[in-house]
Amino acid sequence: MVGKLLVSAGLASCSAAAWFPALAHHLAIRRGSSRRSGSLAEESDVTVSRLQEIWFARLCRELFAWPSRSGLGSALADRVAWSPPDGATDDGCVFALLATPWSHFLTAWAARQPAVHVLIDGNWARRTRPAGVRSDGACLRGIVRKLRNGHSVAVVADAFCPHRAFPATFLGRPVRGSLLAAQLAAVAGVPLRPLAFIWERGRLHPHFGPPVHVARDRNSQISATASVLRFLENEVRRVPAAWNKALKRPERW
């Protein structure tokens, strides 16, 4: 009960505090003096309310960066309103996940699900280490076995990097799209499904894209990944606050 009260108080504080950077950011955009020029947050139709949503998610990301050390993991996990996608079966699935500012909520939730795993690396892995697994070779072999046994694995799909990648575009910008999620789905023989989490009515709700069946050839994996990126791109344009990189310039994606 105490944990839930603390989380509720933290969320309310972040929501109120987010109006200050949102207003300052909006003024900077109007004056042409913003240091975040070119970011998704500064599209032509930006409003103060939309900026407040983005800054609210950003402040919550920083405030709740310590669930494992504070004992609030269970209270954070309760904020994830998970429901399986339509047509879901007991078979395994690879979820191609949009990078989210709510990563600590998701990893706290996943840590309490025996058949759900979050595959992470880089900075996100260091910040969420207690609830995540690393993407090294031994880990990937274990993940494939779990997928074949009916487990689900979430892989960050917009982790743009030169490894397992191909040239693609995201939000009109050239990127190197990662094939990791598609390759895992192909090797394990399970569907690939895009997934974004949206903060609505005080909880995180999953928004699923259509399942994609991936063959082992590279062209099939590229086509599947491109389809995933298109879905996630549409979700980001619809709800910019759902994306962890909404305040970043494209060169830092």
For residue 26, what is the enclosing H or E element? helix 19-31
Compute the Cα dihedral for 127, 180, 206, 40 and give only its sign. positive
Q: What is the mean pLDDT of residues 163-184?
A: 84
Q: Is the pLDDT of residue 44 over 50?
A: yes
AA letter at 195: L
pLDDT over 90, % of the chain = 42
- The pTM of this model reads 0.85
Residue 13 clears pLDDT 90, i.e. is over it:
yes
> Over 70: is that where the pLDDT of 66 sits?
no
Place of tokens 């549409």: 234
Please tell me the distance from the alpha carbon of residue 233 to that of residue 161, in angstroms, as a whole number: 17
Q: What does the pLDDT read at residue 186?
A: 95
Query: pLDDT per residue over 106-125, tens digit each?
Result: 888 888 888 887 775 544 44
Interacting residues of 167 by C-beta distance below 8 A, sequence separation 6+: 174, 175, 176, 177
pLDDT at 129: 45
The identity of residue 101, as a single letter, is: P
| pLDDT-wise least confident of 80-94, 110-124, 159-173 | 110-124
Q: Looking at the chain, how many residues does it have? A: 253
pLDDT band at 252 (very low <50, low <70, confident <90, very high): confident
Distance between first and last Cα of the chain:
38
